[in-house]
Structure 1
């Protein structure tokens, strides 16, 4: 990013509609491990959130409010920066629609647990969540330019095909989030983007996060967690903040520091709001059943292939 005329932190601020007073953070010095000062922004509750101003990088003409539509249908025509028409928290139908997007990915949690590697602690990620500038919780937070700026910092040093594909996978999830028209999904995605960007403002995490599962982590929090817990609670409520931190670490491919798989799984299961949500838990049970059927079919095919190979 050294070649860029505009510092990363300022472009980040522009993407979410912050002005310099809204993000009073100096540019970290190269090689310095000292975290930047904490932004003095009340981000604990939705009432403290100031609606984002139009992005400098993506300024658009003002538009009339979008016509209402049935919950969970259509695309977000309200615009990235003004939040007009965005629903603040999902109705039951919207929550189901967000979960459907998550289930469509067919992410296998058993496989994900087997591949987890040690990462930062849940407390460390929770602290980063508590430092989020208020504009990231605005209904109209501009997640597309925000994602593009963050991905540029993450992948600009590499032109490898794999890195390009990972960036495109993240942007595909961002577009899905925008298409839902859900404020909860939008703000959930913005908080994940904040966790990735916060290294630039508060110094690197104690253990670097893997980049292999960025799209999965983004989808997990924007679709799975945001369907049952408003993202404002990820910041303002200690238990929900711990849940969000643990979900973020798990779907990013990490075990919280100091915890083995059994401990991490037990704590996350206790925290998991989706499992505890009576209205949506059945959807999760059905999804897990489909995954189990898929596992059995895959195991049967593997045995058949092995038998054919041995007979040859």
Structure 2
């Protein structure tokens, strides 16, 4: 949990004003195209032995990547590698329309590696439609794009609905509430038992 907190703290510093990011986002590629490309990541980008610094250097051309500070974490490595695949695929497959390389791709790589991968296993991005949708939407946003055909309000609502971090927090809050209620019930039961015992002993 401490590692996740550290990664999320690093991401929070990078992310800055999220409202401003949404306000500046412009129409981008089709969500389906990005999700399909993500699902087609080649084995080389999924290899546990990938050296993230080298891959990032090849794909991003030396642009700084905060995720490199956490490259010893397997989920960070895989999350970053999958994001780097989306960037590299414009040369290896074909460009998106519009091309994502015109956006803030390093920030988008960090978003997937530090924010999304901290709460949703990147392998799930390949196997689960909703997690892949979340990853694709997050990537587009932090590249500076909205999915094609969506306005900012719609895109934001759809991403919020799929946000693993929000779900994780809600589950934690729900669990805390359940624990609180159980503790109150236990204390009430103890108080009733003591009261009954006191009544019994005086009779």
Is 1:269 aligned with 2:178? no
The C-alpha deviation readout for 1:87-140, integer Å capped at 9, x for no partner, is xxxxx2221121111122252110000100010011110001111012322332
Is 1:250 aligned with 2:145? no
Is 1:259 aligned with 2:154? no
Counterpart Cα distance in 1 of 2:11 and 2:43: 26
The alignment's TM-score, normalised by the length of structure 2, stands at 0.78
Gaps of 5+ in 1: 1-91, 153-166, 283-312
From 143, 163, 184, the counterpart of 2:75: 184
Counterpart Cα distance in 1 of 2:144 and 2:171: 25
Change in 2 beyond 3 A, CA 1:93/1:126: same
Name the structure 1 match of 2:115.
224
Q: Are the counterparts in 2 of residues 177 and 222 from structure 1 also a CA contact under 8 Å?
A: no
The alignment's TM-score, normalised by the length of structure 1, stands at 0.52
SS in 1 for 2:161: helix
Structure number with higher helix proportion: 2
Q: Are the counterparts in 2 of residues 229 and 273 from structure 1 also a CA contact under 8 Å?
A: yes
The C-alpha deviation readout for 1:182-239, integer Å capped at 9, x for no partner, is 1101110101110000112211112111544222211111110000001111111111
Report the count of equivalent residues: 173
Aligned Cα RMSD in Å? 1.9
SS in 1 for 2:63: helix
Name the structure 2 match of 1:121.
30
Q: Are the counterparts in 2 of residues 99 and 223 from structure 1 also a CA contact under 8 Å?
A: yes
Change in 2 beyond 3 A, CA 1:273/1:174: closer
* Runs of 4+, deviation exceeding 3 Å: 279-282
